[in-house]
């Protein structure tokens, strides 16, 4: 019985570790999808609102980026943009993203391309940082949790 409880404890600790490391993966996925999304705008500058809505419907995305797409659709329909539901971004990132979204489609073609390229540079930096964090933090969290679980099991034995 004691061994079964220890195994369950280790299992629960490892589940928590995987859940914690998942946020780094989600942030990387979010920035990767955002980069693809902005590249689509850059390629298709002649989007009209109907085409943007069609494009958004076809966009296949996961978790947090899906929330962004839904908020962007709401912005196109109602003019309101609320990024508070996106949990993988901190407040500074949300404000930068809001600036990006609010400025898309507000300029002539040449200015729009220049602006999208500058946004893409910002997103590239964020994507590289998210990739670095994912590659560093995910394995570290899992390894430390495993060590903690084993140490706790040894203490309980």
Distances in Å between the Cα of 70 and the Cα atoms of 45, 51, 75, 128, 147 are 21, 16, 9, 25, 40
pTM of this structure: 0.79
Of 42, 41, 52, nearest to 74 by C-alpha is 52
Instruction: With H, G, I as helix, E, B as strand and everything else as coil, classify residue 80.
Output: coil
List the pLDDT tens digit at each of the 157 positions of the chain: 788 888 898 999 999 999 999 989 988 988 988 888 888 777 776 555 556 666 667 666 777 888 888 888 888 788 788 888 888 888 888 888 888 777 776 666 677 778 888 888 988 999 999 999 999 999 999 999 999 999 988 888 7
pLDDT at 47: 55
Sequence-distant (≥ 6) Cβ neighbours of residue 59 within 8 angstroms: 37, 69
Is 45:81 a contact under the CB 8 Å cutoff?
A: no
Q: What is the CA radius of gyration of the chain?
A: 21
pLDDT at 105: 63
pLDDT at 107: 63
Instruction: Determine the Cα angle at 89 with ends 86 and 92, to 5°.
Output: 120
Dist. CA 4–CA 114, nearest whole Å: 61
Distances in Å between the Cα of 130 and the Cα atoms of 28, 32, 78, 87, 98 are 5, 9, 31, 14, 19
* Residue the block writes with tokens 């933090």: 137
């Amino acid at each position: 019985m004691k061994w079964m409880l220890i195994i369950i404890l280790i299992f629960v600790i490892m589940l928590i570790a995987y859940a914690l490391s998942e946020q780094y993966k989600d942030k990387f996925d979010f920035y990767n999808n955002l980069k693809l999304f902005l590249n689509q705008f850059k390629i298709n500058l002649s989007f009209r609102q109907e085409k943007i809505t069609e494009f958004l419907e076809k966009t296949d995305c996961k978790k947090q980026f899906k929330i962004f797409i839904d908020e962007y659709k709401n912005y196109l329909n109602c003019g309101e943009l609320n990024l508070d539901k996106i949990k993988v971004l901190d407040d500074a990132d949300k404000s930068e993203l809001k600036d990006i979204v609010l400025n898309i489609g507000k300029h002539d073609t040449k200015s729009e391309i220049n602006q999208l390229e500058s946004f893409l540079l910002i997103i590239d930096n964020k994507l590289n940082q998210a990739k670095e964090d994912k590659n560093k933090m995910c394995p570290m969290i899992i390894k430390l949790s495993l060590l903690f679980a084993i140490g706790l099991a040894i203490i309980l034995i």
